[in-house]
Amino acid sequence: DAKTTQPNSMESNEEEPVHLPCNHSTISGTDYIHWYRQLPSQGPEYVIHGLTSNVNNRMASLAIAEDRKSSTLILHRATLRDAAVYYCILRERINTGTASKLTFGTGTRLQVTL
Amino acid sequence: DTAVSQTPKYLVTQMGNDKSIKCEQNLGHDTMYWYKQDSKKFLKIMFSYNNKELIINETVPNRFSPKSPDKAHLNLHINSLELGDSAVYFCASSLGQGGYNEQFFGPGTRLTVL
């Protein structure tokens, strides 16, 4: 399984931007970079994904390094509701078909304080 | 309306019993998944079905048997429950199997085996 490395935890003040890093040095050309988050006592929630180019959506931005060996999830203004475990995942193709799977790591626990 | 729903939310049972967890999605997706999150919070895929066909079968004891009666449902039956089966089980769905498709997760079923 393709691996990602993330810091165990990070802290942020409310209303400030947060940059969550992820290393994925063994990424292959067809692996998509996905970010999910899991709020306490809930199922994981999709945040954003990308392949090569930087991506923006209403929740966050994803900055992907040119060599694709690392990426950064950017929350532009953290709120208390953003406190969660953030997972950086490489969505890998299975065998030679179109199927793919998410392999979750340990994620980064984000704490947001007033 | 809930997009991905699971029943029951909590399940407490004795070792050796057989139990089922049900999952339904009303998103019109064609691919569904079962994940297991253990006490250390590791989230691991177990099975995936696409159009009622099994496409992912990770190393899971054969006491676990998924069944997909139609594209909107994926149930998980567990025989001869063991203490180590205690975990939170999440169902998810996506449109297509590809790496560009986000997965939508259900709220989880907390299984406790006594």
User: How does residue B86 score in pLDDT terms, banded at 50, 70 and 90?
Assistant: very high
| CA dist., res. A70 & res. B31, Å (int) | 29
Helix (H) or strand (E) holding B105: strand B104-105
**Interchain pair A98, B106: CB under 8 A:** no
Task: Give the residue from B34, B38, B103, B104 with the most A CB atoms within 10 Å of its CB, the best one to mutate.
Answer: B103
User: How does residue B1 score in pLDDT terms, banded at 50, 70 and 90?
Assistant: low
Question: What amino acid occupies position B50?
Answer: N
Q: What is the pLDDT of residue B13?
A: 97
Q: What is the pLDDT of residue A87?
A: 96
Mean predicted confidence (pLDDT) in A49-57 = 93
What single-letter DSSP state applies at residue B83? G
In the predicted structure, residue A42 carries a pLDDT above the cut 90: yes
Q: What is the pLDDT of residues B13-39, one digit of tens each?
A: 999 999 999 999 999 999 999 999 998
pLDDT over 90 for what percent of chain B?
73
What single-letter DSSP state applies at residue B84? G
Mean predicted confidence (pLDDT) in A44-71 = 94
**Interchain pair B42, A106: CB under 8 A:** yes
Task: Give the residue from A87, A90, A102 with the most B CB atoms within 10 Å of its CB, the best one to mutate.
Answer: A102
Instruction: Calculate how close chain B gets to A92, using CA atoms only, in Å.
Output: 7
Q: What is the pLDDT of residue A3?
A: 86
Instruction: Calculate how close chain B gets to A22, using CA atoms only, in Å.
Output: 17
For all residues of chain A together, what is the average pLDDT? Answer: 91
Using left for φ > 0, alpha for ψ between -120 and 50, and beta otherwise, residue B9 falls in alpha
